[in-house]
Chain A
């Protein structure tokens, strides 16, 4: 192909709309692809104050009205939002003087849009599966979950290729939807190490003092306060760590378990040792990650584990549960500590190992920082993604749709 490849990214979140990991993923992936000579259009949901159309470092971003339709529940909202997004994206493709070569859909939240555009324009659809309903819920128990599960299966069925961000997710997705192995491709998630390097803390002591006493070490959890993230395991590990060392346990994020967790902490008589900050802005978060003595990712289900990479980029030693994508990111005793999932004793052991041995902590964080620059940098990921785009277009050019 002589001209630039042109790709339309479909995502329900893009900064400044940030709900989970898809938003930063699409943001960095799109910008890096644009730098590597791929024309990128992002179609996403609107956000108060964000423009309908803007160019973000070479990426054309279009935001659609996502709250036009009244909806009885979240899933119905998703399908109705897909009607509007599909309408706007179809009009956009039609109005562009050039062809869009590939539609790239992120998760079931934009399944209908991706599938619809594929068939009306007869261009290949590619999907990145960031997470699955069967994994999030640890099984399928209700019709609501089954409907989402079947929508995910349908999206992977319609997709030319399915990208997963870890080897664990490749095998999980193959099992969950019965996909042939050659339909799946592993391209890791990335982390932008530069923004952490650039995060200066003018007065470390005064910043730190907002969260912990000078004599307390900071043990950091970052994530949604939901069951699969294992925050309850983290809280249950607190007393066992405090037996050996003095620390403040800082929990960043919100979620449906917040009330339950803060009751648990109060009941344990640890309200002075555990701090719930709620949602914090990016800069505060990065500073916190930079001054954390240990960052803990105690997830029960984790397709990838971006928060571990962020901690590694911030040069904070990590303790992770040995599950899912986390198992691949961390090499035990080399780039971090792995502990048994859903086991507060094991988790406390891992945290103490880091807090009580500075030489060990320094060595794992130095190794980890080197590792993320080698394997998880966005330019490399963008190049791998571009290679996949090229392979798909080559196959497509030999199909009946060409």
Chain B
């Protein structure tokens, strides 16, 4: 199985806890005989491409250097993420099975790839704008929430890390509970559960 992971942070670029979580996930997938690719951001210090522990890592940078905010920065960067992912897909003979998008940043790219090339995606929720911004609802926060909403709506599955987060996702975005899988990274069979979800989702409903 070929899986691309989208994350805006990945070692050595650490912003929060997501970087280490994604690195651990990708390494464990490779050990479990899954072809794992990570598409992430590089800020000129981290290099473009490497393969730590067999994980093929593609780092893209923003073609537009100047920005007025996080949103414009993220949205233009999405095009490079989308380009890198499309290239991976074509280079492996259109065999990509699944995209696992971590948090909202690269949801737009995942959505376009799904609509254009029938590649399903999972939205792995690390945190939500509602909690990060303490309920603020300026146009800026609402725009991020609308991207989170788009991800929840278009994803085949949501993976959350706790029962609490599942309840919050249902409360805030009215997602049907059967669309959400709770998998704690601390649980003993963490990677087995993830792989199980990947397998079911990759198969799911898309005629190739």
Seen from chain A, the residues whose Cβ lies within 8 Å of a Cβ on chain B are 68-73, 75-76, 79-80, 82-83, 86-88, 90-91, 93-94, 112, 115-117, 119-122, 143-144, 146-147, 150-151, 154, 157
Contact = CB atoms under 8 A, between A and B. Distances in A.
Interface string B71-115: 110011011001100110010000000000000000011011101
Given A72-B69, A151-B64, A93 B147 contact: no
A37 to B, nearest CB: 27
A378 B8 CA distance: 47
A146 B66 CA distance: 6
B116 A93 contact: yes
Task: Identify which of A71, A144, A147 gathers the most chain B CB atoms within 10 Å of its CB.
Answer: A147
Interface stretch (B48-56, B128-136, B137-145, B188-196): B137-145
Contact of B68 (A93, A112, A117, A143): A143
A70 B68 contact: no
A251 to B, nearest CB: 33
Contacts of B170: none
Nearest to B113: A120
* B contact patch SS: helix
Given A112-B79, A119-B83, A143-B66, A70 B143 contact: yes
Given A83-B75, A83-B147, A151-B76, 16 more contacts: A72-B69, A72-B71, A76-B71, A76-B72, A80-B71, A83-B108, A83-B111, A94-B117, A112-B75, A112-B78, A116-B79, A119-B83, A119-B87, A120-B113, A147-B64, A150-B66
B75 to A, nearest CB: 4
A144 B66 CA distance: 8
A116 B140 CA distance: 24
Given A80-B71, A147-B64, A69 B118 contact: no
A386 B3 CA distance: 41
Contact of B67 (A115, A116, A117, A147): A147
Which of A69, A80, A157 counts the most B-chain CB atoms under 10 A from its CB? Answer: A69
Interface residues of B, number: 35
B63 interface: yes
The 8 lowest CB-CB distance pairs between A and B, nearest first, are A90-B116, A90-B115, A79-B75, A70-B142, A146-B66, A91-B115, A120-B116, A119-B83
A147 B68 contact: yes
B116 A69 contact: no
Given A79-B75, A116-B79, A94 B64 contact: no
A90 B147 CA distance: 17
Nearest to B145: A70
B65 interface: yes
B146 interface: yes
Contacts of A70: 139, 142-143, 146
B207 to A, nearest CB: 12
Contacts of A87: 108, 111-112, 115
A79 B71 contact: yes
Contacts of A69: 142-143, 146-147
A144 B63 contact: no
Given A72-B140, A94-B116, A151-B76, A122 B90 contact: yes
B115 A82 contact: no
B189 to A, nearest CB: 35
26 contacts: A69-B143, A69-B147, A70-B142, A70-B146, A72-B140, A79-B75, A83-B147, A86-B108, A86-B112, A87-B112, A87-B115, A88-B115, A90-B112, A91-B116, A94-B116, A94-B117, A116-B83, A117-B116, A119-B86, A120-B82, A120-B86, A120-B113, A143-B68, A147-B68, A154-B63, A154-B64
